[in-house]
Amino acid sequence: MSEQARVRKAVLPVAGLGTRFLPASKAVAKELLPVLDRPVLQWVVEEALQAGIEEFVFVTSRGKEAIADHFDAHPLLEKTLERKGKQALLQAVRAATIEAGRAIFVRQDAPRGLGHAVLCARAAVGDEPFALLLPDMLMRGQPNCLAGMMQAYAAVGGNIIAVEEVPREEVNKYGVVALEDADAETPRITAMVEKPAVADAPSNLIISGRYILQPRIFTLLERTMPGAGGEIQLTDAMLAALDEGAPFHAYRFGGETFDCGSKLGFLQANVAFGLDDADVGTALATFIRQRLPQR
């Protein structure tokens, strides 16, 4: 194992307007919509904490103030739950709190793309490697996705990108990678392209929303011109880093991924998490079984 600079910080881009979830997301940040009993974003923050992340940089925007409230301590609520002896709820509320001073909120002024959102985190991250977690992508498995990537990073260093296979006809919705030695444990990435046409995609391996990146990416993002969809694309800056010779390795996550940025993925996540829940799982399974013959 080689010595790598430790990954202490995570960037979470949460500035998006959530247009795919309107009208639900008109007044409530889409990242705060619940999967089972907590916001999607909290599941992702818990993944990062379990992976050893110590500081969070949320790239936010107007109207998303409730995100800061959600991760703040709530003394009045906690006192009330304590007085009523509601220990389990008290624990659940405390688990949603990020320690004082460990969450930084920076604003993105306009929706100019994921690359621009990441660039907004530059001053808060500084000159060290960082994790980037896209909160639309909810991931479940042991070790969790970022924890597995941290292990891969400890072994090979550089930049690590989580990838997964999707049906070929869906690649145009994602960033797509090509690999040098697909059978290796953490294969080298040789090419990346953002939202290619299905016919032009180098593979059906998509960038699935978890990254470990070196701070050089910020300088490259500054130079990145708008790309796919007229937005400043992180994938284009990563490609520029690759062209400079920076190593990029792929990490294949063994668990499940739910794209909660789409209605279907969000509902699937709720069903999957609900079925596995000790309180509601059995009743939910019965309900679904009763409904299915009507389909």
Footprint of ligand G1P on this chain (CB under 6 A)? Answer: 114, 134, 136-137, 174-175, 194, 206-209, 233-235, 261
Nearer to ligand G1P, 233 or 270 (CB): 233
Please check whether residue 222 is in contact with residue 132, taking contact to mean a CB–CB distance below 8 angstroms.
Answer: no
Can you state the angle between helices 281-291 and 263-275, rounded to 10 degrees? 120
Which is nearer to ligand G1P, 152 or 260 (by Cβ)?
Answer: 260
Q: Which is nearer to ligand G1P, 81 or 239 (CB)?
A: 239
Closest separation between CB of residue 209 and ligand G1P, Å? 4
Map residue 248 onto helix, strand or coil: strand
Distances (CA, A) of 225 to 6, 196, 248: 30, 17, 21
Instruction: List the structure tokens of 168.
Output: 């070929």
Q: How far is the CB of 203 from ligand G1P (least distance, A)?
A: 13
Q: Which is nearer to ligand G1P, 4 or 172 (CB)?
A: 172
Helix (H, G, I), strand (E, B) or coil at 258: strand
Task: Kindly state the smallest distance separating residue 29's Cβ from ligand G1P, in Å.
Answer: 16
Q: How far is the CB of 64 from ligand G1P (least distance, A)?
A: 16
Minimum distance of ligand G1P from residue 84's CB (angstroms): 41
What DSSP element (H or E) covers 210? strand 205-213
| Residue in the shown chain whose Cβ atom is closest to ligand G1P | 175
Query: Shortest distance, CB of residue 136 to ligand G1P, whole angstroms?
Result: 6
Residues 191, 235 contacting (CB under 8 angstroms):
no
C-alpha–C-alpha distance, residues 68 and 48, integer Å: 17
State the virtual CA torsion across 282, 283, 286, 291 in degrees, nearest 10.
-140
For residue 190, give every residue at least 6 positions away whose Cβ sits within 8 Å of its Cβ, in sequence order, or none.
178, 179, 180, 242
Q: How far is the CB of 4 from ligand G1P (least distance, A)?
A: 24
Which H or E run includes 137? strand 137-140
Q: Which is nearer to ligand G1P, 214 or 233 (CB)?
A: 233
55/236 with CB nearer ligand G1P = 236
Task: For ligand G1P, give the closer residue by CB, 45 or 137.
Answer: 137
